[in-house]
Amino acid sequence: MSLMIRNMLLEESSLCSAIVCNSPIGIRYGFINEKISAELRKAAVSDDIIIVAENGGAIAGFAWIAPRGAFCSAPYLRLIAVDEKVRGSGIGSALLKKFEECTKDTGKDLFLLVSNFNKQAIAFYERYGYQRIGKIPDFARPGITEILMIKRRVI
């Protein structure tokens, strides 16, 4: 595997969007490819950072990082997704590591939200030291609870 983590090019937004649309969260939330793609392009030219994992020349995953997205102060991982064909091979871990590295000067505590049905993602975050600290029922969709997770950096 030749893996490179770098910033997304604007023309890669639809490839990233397709990855998340084909994931369990994309399907459950009814994500629309063109809409997510447009949001990623908009975010990439804002204060947010969109990183991609390029694996053997193909886009294998991405992460949407808002450096001060949590409470206008702390790093927030807005979205992360890996192509289902290559999940479980370390790409998500590499993206998460980059999220932590590229926000190290922004804030000590790292935040994210994960849907309560997304057991695989919750286990993935817990493996890297994220802890559940709260629940927000009916936040993104009625009937789905978002779990607020935090990682406190050791400094």
Of residues 83-112, those binding ligand COA (CB under 6 A)? 87-93
Cβ atoms of residues 4 and 54 within 8 Å: yes
Q: What whole-number distance in Å separates Cα of residue 21 and Cα of residue 99?
A: 21
Q: Does the footprint of ligand COA cover residue 55 (CB under 6 A)?
A: no
Contact 63, 11 (CB under 8 A): no
Number of CB atoms found within 10 A of residue 77's CB: 25
- Indicate whether 56 belongs to the interface with ligand COA (CB under 6 A): no
98 versus 155: smaller Cβ distance to ligand COA: 98
Residue 81 interacts with ligand COA (CB under 6 A): yes or no? yes
Which lies closer to ligand COA via its Cβ, residue 57 or residue 155? 57
| Residue closer to ligand COA (CB basis): 20 or 44 | 20
Sole binder of ligand COA in the list 16, 70, 121, 147 (CB under 6 A): 121
- Per rule CB under 6 A, count of chain residues that contact ligand COA: 18
Six token digits for residue 123: 């286990």
Count the Cβ atoms, other than its own, within 10 Å of residue 143: 7
Angle between helices 119-127 and 91-102 (to 10 degrees): 60
Residue ranges binding ligand COA (CB under 6 A): 23-25, 80-82, 87-93, 114, 118, 120-121, 124
